[in-house]
Amino acid sequence: MGYVMSADGVTLLQSQIDNLFFEEKNLKVSFTTTEDYLREVLPPCFDLPEEPKAMLSFGVAHSYGKPFGSATINVAAAYRGEQTWFDLTMLHTGDMTVIIGREAWGEAKKRAEINFVEELPKVSGSAVREGYTVIEFEAEFGDDLGARTESGVDMHVKAFPAFDMSALDRDPILVIGRSTTTFTSYRLGTIDLKMTSSPLDPTGSVPIVSIDEVRLGDARTTYEIEEHDLAPDEAYFRHVAGRMYDLPRSV
């Protein structure tokens, strides 16, 4: 394969996106945050959700033979009355998982070192960026509760800065991913979780009022993706710059 993709290569790439899936071992921590924080971090297209919730997803996965580790912080939001999740940060191993996610879908992905150790009933992990441990946890889980299926909706603001970083290059787009997750195992547990800010990542700024649920699952997730144009608003640039780039900031 050369630097210009063949017609067959383009057909294969489009087929993989049309049939997008991930097979994963994933820990999810659902927690209550604050409405004030959601008002601060949600872009203009979103309304406040029914409840001020957030979620940490942490684990290892593969898609079409490409393995990766990931740690994602989502916050709840509402778009035209539909409840959804919006990504504040997505820390990933591997360059293609980061580049494709950022450029194709507007995901707030950055390279990181992801450590995930499962020795049931205990599971531990950490996410490290530029030498800083920004997420770490130790969890313990109960018995396998069996197979189940659930659906979800994630939304991402796809937008890119102009060459001089003064504004957006063009109006933003909302990318919507509708997922179906089929679990082969599912466990509930408890967790000791620490999220810490660094000079580059404000992960410790997310308020955790209470932890509502901790779960661990082996699953296959499939996606259907759509996109919608968003009305222009100067405020989007600040959201993009803050989430997507390691620009100067205070801790």
* Model-wide pTM > 0.75: yes
Indicate if the pLDDT at residue 120 is higher than 60: yes
Indicate if the pLDDT at residue 66 is higher than 50: yes
Which runs of E-coded beta strand occur in the chain?
21-32, 53-63, 66-79, 82-92, 109-111, 113-119, 122-129, 132-141, 148-158, 173-195, 210-229
SS3 state at 83:
strand
pLDDT at position 251 is 46
At 228-241, the pLDDT tens digits run: 999 999 999 999 99
Indicate if the pLDDT at residue 205 is higher than 90: yes
Indicate if the pLDDT at residue 152 is higher than 70: yes
Question: Is beta strand 113-119 parallel, antiparallel or unpaired with respect to 109-111?
Answer: unpaired
Q: Give the N- to C-terminal CA distance of the chain in Å, as an integer.
A: 44
- Mean predicted confidence (pLDDT) in 34-57: 98
Neighbours of 106 (CB within 10 A): 23
- Mean predicted confidence (pLDDT) in 159-163: 94
CA 127 – CA 58 distance, rounded (Å): 9
pLDDT at position 1 is 58
- Mean predicted confidence (pLDDT) in 172-179: 97
Position of tokens 């209470």? 210
Comparing CA positions, the residue from 182, 214, 209, 238 lying closest to residue 42 is 238
- Mean predicted confidence (pLDDT) in 138-161: 97
pLDDT at position 248 is 65
At 88-103, the pLDDT tens digits run: 999 999 999 999 999 9
State the chain's mean pLDDT as an integer: 95
Comparing CA positions, the residue from 133, 115, 137, 122 lying closest to residue 70 is 115
CA 206 – CA 203 distance, rounded (Å): 6
- The Cα-based distances of 199 to 109, 173, 250 in angstroms read 17, 29, 6
Domain 22-244: CATH class, spelled out: mainly beta
pLDDT at position 250 is 54
